Structure 1
Amino acid sequence: MCLGIPGQITAITDADRLTGMADVSGVRREVSLAPVADGPLDDLIGQWALIHVGFAMAIIDEKEAARTLDALRDLGEAQEALDAMAEGQKALEGSQ
């Protein structure tokens, strides 16, 4: 099953590589913005996107993001994905 979790794009990290930082329920993660980059990258800052395996797959509005996060929390699936992302972040921080 594929799971896209809403995250808010907070910064552009490498314009040449089309990457940015996304905040997914408090977990910050670098993601590829290539699938949603159809204009100036700075226009994406503050936007909500569905994040799947490190890619911003689609831009969504804030209300849809909130509804989706609520539904995922209710199902319990988001917590598993967020735990895995947090573990990945810890591993990255430990390797630096």
Structure 2
Amino acid sequence: MCLAIPGQIQRIEEDELRTGTVSFAGVTKEVCLALVPEASVGDYVIVHVGFAISKVDEQAAQKSLSLIEQLSSCQTDESPSS
């Protein structure tokens, strides 16, 4: 399964590919911003495999990040039966 994760743009390089630094709850990654030319520093974008694919408002981004955090903290002690 593939996930697209929201992150906040910290810096933009107006280079050939229009790349930028995006923060995902404190973890920063270099992302291609070419598909969202309207995005600017401070905006939230949805990122999939290194490409920002759309802008999203801060409230929706925070809600998604909260849900992802809840999912990652859910662990079961059950193991599959043999």
TM-score interval w.r.t. the shorter chain? 0.7 to 0.9
RMSD: 1.6
Larger radius of gyration: 2
1:57 to 53, 59, 70: 53
Number of the residue aligned with 1:74? 70
Runs of 4+ in 1 over 2 A off after TM superposition: 13-16
In percent, how many aligned pairs have the same letter? Answer: 40
- Size of the alignment, in residue pairs? 73
Structure richer in helix, relative to its length:
1
Give distance in 2, aligned partners of 1:17 and 1:5.
20
Number of the residue aligned with 2:78? none
Measured after TM superposition, the shift of residue 14 of structure 1 is 4.1
Structure richer in strand, relative to its length:
2
Q: Which blocks of at least 5 consecutive residues in structure 2 are unaligned? A: 74-82
Q: Which blocks of at least 5 consecutive residues in structure 1 are unaligned? A: 78-96
TM-score (norm 2): 0.80
